[in-house]
Amino acid sequence: MSDKPGNQTPNTPDVSETELRNKKVDELRKDAKQEHIAGASGMRKEELVKEVAQARQEDADNGRGRNSRSGADDEEDLGAGPDGGRVRHGDDSSKSLKYSQEITSTEEEPEREGRSLATTHHEVIRQWAEERGGVPATVDGTEHGDHLGVLRIDFREKDANLREVSWEEWFKTFDDRGLNFIYQEQRSDGRQSNFFRLENPEREDA
């Protein structure tokens, strides 16, 4: 008889699903985010238990940390950025920014499903994108000399106009332009949201 009762996910002998099931859904989603599990915000509790258990077993098998799930060994935390994650304000700040919940840490959660969020925190933005299979990108043909053009996140939707760039390049441009990242974790119905927009509070046409 197993000494870890309730473990029904195959090939996860070193992980206690019973312990995971005793957690709240919000705690499991936080665990899933740390494991870089895509789509976690839209999963039900049992799905979260299985995905987190599988990810932790992979970590144990590979002798690696949480970033093994994303295919990167010891991937460097990008940190908060020059503004500590705090949103930037200016004469042209939008109403959506005014009514958004400010996120300044990877540990913060939306106050409710469907809540509009805003941040400049580099690691928050990267984790949000990677959970959805997104990569940093720019719109081809909008470059200014050696500088990136219009910034986007490419969710692999076969947009031929998007060119993948490094997070380092993306965030350098993001900070140089004084942008804010306005986004959602979940829609009001609880499903995962890919909504985001970039806003320059100093210029309406940014």
3-state helix, strand, coil in the chain (%, to 5): 30, 15, 55
pLDDT tens-place string over residues 167-196: 999 999 999 999 999 999 998 888 889 999
pLDDT tens-place string over residues 104-126: 999 898 998 889 999 999 999 99
Which range scores top for mean pLDDT: 10-19, 21-30, 35-44?
A: 21-30
pLDDT of residue 8: 54
The CA-CA-CA angle for residues 64, 56, 77, to 5°, reads 50
Helix-helix angle 45-62:25-34, to 10 degrees: 30
Residue 184: closest CA among 106, 112, 80: 112
Higher pLDDT pick, 14 / 31: 31
Q: Check: pTM over 0.85? Answer yes or no.
A: no
pLDDT tens-place string over residues 135-159: 999 998 888 877 899 999 999 876 7
pLDDT tens-place string over residues 35-81: 777 667 667 888 888 888 888 887 777 654 444 344 443 467 888 99
Range list of β-strands (E), 51-121? 101-102, 117-119
Has residue 4 got a pLDDT over 50? no
Q: Where along the chain do its domains lie?
A: 17-70, 95-199
